């Protein structure tokens, strides 16, 4: 992206320090996130039926278990999630290859979305908070004639049809790819552009966060008007606690943690009553109306949308 050319800083891995000293970027952004809210990865359990994607290893492991059985999402002994990821990112876990899906890009996004939703659901049951995620399957129009399709996007309301999502809507973006991550890789350039689109369409943002998932490696991308910074990589299988920390902060933290300026309050549009009519609460938007996300403001209410 031309606007941020030469202004992206790449952080190296943190050496020592506190338990959650992942990087200077992450520590500063999520400084207000309560550490007691971060679960241990071994605490994450879900009903067996919640695991949507299987392979031979998981079928043998959970053979004979009822679907209602509570099982761990992460296997500490095998150092891997109890989830079959896409074969484009195959790895050996417990002697078995992880990944048995058909491997199409859309299928890969849907399966990875199921995984993020499942992890978030397990965290939600512990934190008593509501947020979900889903894949994006539409091009998002822009005022500046830039049309791009994000893989995953965090929104304000899950009832919003995909064709009504604009660049004024996303809270956090994510990009999923099979390619290795480099500063000049397509995934990095794509996120740069998408972050810029959010910045120009959402003037109430102090910064924009994005997540990149490349070859099982998670990176947190930070963008503001001066440029950006990229965190060191964290391996989804071998660094599960770091992955859980970032995901929990992004999904369940206050809006200020994902870039919203608390000093700016943008009111949603409401129908204006006719001068001849009697003022009444009926002039407010009906509860069964799908909200216009292009005018939905950042707020303190819970997010029911998607990554």
In a domain, residue 263? The reply is no
* Mean pLDDT of all residues in 79-88: 76
Where residue 133 sits, what CATH number does that domain have? 3.90.1570
Who contacts 164 (Cβ-Cβ below 8 Å, separation ≥6)?
290, 292, 293, 294
In a domain, residue 215? The reply is yes
In a domain, residue 279? The reply is no
Please state, rounded to an integer, the average pLDDT across all residues of the chain.
70
In a domain, residue 40? The reply is no
**CA 153 vs CA 129, 156, 170, 276: distances in Å:** 19, 10, 6, 43
Confirm if 274 and 128 have CB atoms less than 8 A apart: no
In a domain, residue 150? The reply is yes
How far apart CA 259 and CA 173 sit, in angstroms, is: 12
pLDDT for 68 beyond 70: yes
In a domain, residue 205? The reply is yes
pLDDT for 254 beyond 50: yes
The domain total for the chain is 1
pLDDT class of 268 with cuts at 50, 70, 90? low
**CA 269 vs CA 89, 115, 128, 160, 296: distances in Å:** 45, 35, 31, 16, 8
Q: What domain range includes position 138? A: 2-33+106-258
User: For 39-48, 99-108, 144-153, which range has the lowest pLDDT when averaged over its residues?
Assistant: 144-153
């Amino acid at each position: 992206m031309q606007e941020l050319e030469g202004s992206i800083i790449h952080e190296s891995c943190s050496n020592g320090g506190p338990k959650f000293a992942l990087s200077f970027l992450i520590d500063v952004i999520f400084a207000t996130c309560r550490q007691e809210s971060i679960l241990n990865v071994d605490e994450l359990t879900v009903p067996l039926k919640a695991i949507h994607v299987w392979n031979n290893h998981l079928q043998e492991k959970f053979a004979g278990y009822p679907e209602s059985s509570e099982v761990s999402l992460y296997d500490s002994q095998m150092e891997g999630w109890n989830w079959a990821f896409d074969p484009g990112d195959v790895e050996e876990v417990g002697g078995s290859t992880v990944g048995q899906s058909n491997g199409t890009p859309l299928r890969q996004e849907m399966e990875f979305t199921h995984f993020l939703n499942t992890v978030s659901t397990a965290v939600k049951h512990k934190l008593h908070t509501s947020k979900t995620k889903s894949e994006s399957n539409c091009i998002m129009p822009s005022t500046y004639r830039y049309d791009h399709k994000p893989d995953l996007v965090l929104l304000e309301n899950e009832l919003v049809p995909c064709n009504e999502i604009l660049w004024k809507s996303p809270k956090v973006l994510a990009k999923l790819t099979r390619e290795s991550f480099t500063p000049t890789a397509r995934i990095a350039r794509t996120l740069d552009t998408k972050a810029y689109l959010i910045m120009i369409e959402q003037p109430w943002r102090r910064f924009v966060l994005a997540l990149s998932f490349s070859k099982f490696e998670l990176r947190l991308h930070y963008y503001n008007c001066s440029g950006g910074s990229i965190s060191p990589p964290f391996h989804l299988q071998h660094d599960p606690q770091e992955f859980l920390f970032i995901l929990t902060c992004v999904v369940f933290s206050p809006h200020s943690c994902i870039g919203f300026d608390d000093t700016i309050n943008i009111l949603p549009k409401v129908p204006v009553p006719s001068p001849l009519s009697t003022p009444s609460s009926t002039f407010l938007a009906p509860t069964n109306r799908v909200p216009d996300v292009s005018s939905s403001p950042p707020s303190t209410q819970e997010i029911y949308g998607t990554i």
